[in-house]
Amino acid sequence: MSSKEKNSVTILTESQLSSRAFKDEAYEFYKEVRKSQPLYPLSLGDLGKGWLISRYDDAIHLLKNEKLKKNYENVFTAKEKRPALLKNEESLTKHMLNSDPPDHNRLRTLVQKAFTHRMILQLEDKIQHIADSLLDKVQPNKFMNLVDDYAFPLPIIVISEMLGIPLEDRQKFRVWSQAIIDFSDAPERLQENDHLLGEFVEYLESLVRKKRREPAGDLISALIQAESEGTQLSTEELYSMIMLLIVAGHETTVNLITNMTYALMCHGDQFEKLRQQPDLMNSAIEEALRFHSPVELTTIRWTAEPFILHGQEIKRKDVIIISLASANRDEKIFPNADIFDIERKNNRHIAFGHGNHFCLGAQLARLEAKIAISTLLRRCPNIQLKGEKEQMKWKGNFLMRALEELPLSF
């Protein structure tokens, strides 16, 4: 989109938001709309009318606003209920990310014990072993695609072991995850994604049957126990929660590791500073989360009660989508917001969200990134981008800011 085209646009569609062209120029677009149109109109097909939120203060306010609901059943009457876009949608949407209190609190409580500070710290040695093992495979070649060889396998191995699912299935999870986070409304993509989600449901059914016969000390076995008691978790919620933990358990971290490495490769002074001062790693991770937020746009929130924002009435049933990426580049909150500065002070980014739906796995993602990047810089001190940074391509994806690949030599 050229500047002229962007100035003439009055409504953005779902397909535009999901396009690679939008990702390439998103930060320029966000900068403009933060100034001139912080409540930006969206046309979301069968989902109806929507609004894109770009400013930090608005994002903070709306992420906690009780007039917005994640479960559309708390907004729509039975007669108004929208038809499912995908045949297999209902089997995978009854999770905590799509729920409101008190259901959200009940579902979150079932899994949050696995993500406490103590439990996460116990994974440190395991994550370190995984990082070293992955680098052992590629170091003799002096080349790797960071996404395929390192950033994807590390978190998927970790979450697979936590859940108790076979590691040999991890490539399937990658395909299924992409189908789940693909918001495309193109008929051929919808049909393909529905087929993939059907495969995922069949996989989960088989996995749950096996875990019922042979329970173990893993997270899925604990969820099945809660489901068997009948009061804490329904069968649909069980499948949905397993799906969410698999997808959310690796997608954000893949992008955090990749985007942080890319930012360091594009900012040689910051890369060198981090190599010389490894104690800046925690600060560098927070800046990477802000600068190239792994989750670019939030999932959908529905307006349950009308309200006014920036002089515009937000009507009941309107959709609200918040750009975490834009909020994290808001000049009013972050001085020199477009500068990547690993020593940035008071970094109040919202890359992991805010309020009830703050990412449950944020601490795990930070630890995985810290070990992954620290190990990479220690073992491959001469690492560099193979090719020009302009050649790197962002995926066309609604929710995520993700690179298709990141070739590195060392």
Q: Contact at 8 Å (CB) between 243 and 200?
A: yes
Q: CA separation (Å) from 255 to 177, 245, 374, 396, 403?
A: 13, 16, 16, 14, 7
Closest CA to 361 of 108, 105, 171, 36: 108
Cα–Cα distance, 233 to 98 (Å, whole number) = 15
Instruction: List the chain pLDDT tens, one digit each, 410 residues.
Output: 444 444 455 789 988 999 999 999 999 999 999 999 999 999 988 888 999 999 999 999 999 999 999 998 999 987 887 655 556 666 678 899 999 999 999 999 989 888 999 999 999 999 999 999 999 999 999 999 999 999 999 999 999 999 998 888 887 888 888 888 776 666 777 788 888 888 988 999 999 999 999 999 999 998 988 776 666 788 888 889 999 998 888 999 999 999 999 999 999 999 999 999 999 999 999 999 999 999 999 999 999 999 999 999 999 999 999 999 999 999 999 999 999 999 999 999 999 999 999 999 999 999 999 999 999 999 999 999 998 888 899 998 899 999 999 999 99
Biggest CA–CA distance in the chain, Å, is 62
Residue-level pLDDT at 3 = 41
286 with 297: CB under 8 angstroms? no
Amino acid identity of residue 124, one-letter, is E
C-alpha 186: how far from chain center? 22
pLDDT score of 233: 82
CB neighbour class for 10 (10 Å; exposed up to 12, middle 13-18, buried from 19): exposed
* CB proximity list for 141: less than 8 A, separation 6 or greater: none
Count the domains in the chain: 1
Q: Can you give the pTM of this predicted structure?
A: 0.92
Domain of 383 in residue numbering reads as 3-409
Give the pLDDT confidence score for residue 231 in this predicted structure: 62
Q: State residue 232's pLDDT score.
A: 75
CATH code where residue 143 lies: 1.10.630.10
pLDDT given for residue 391 in this prediction: 87
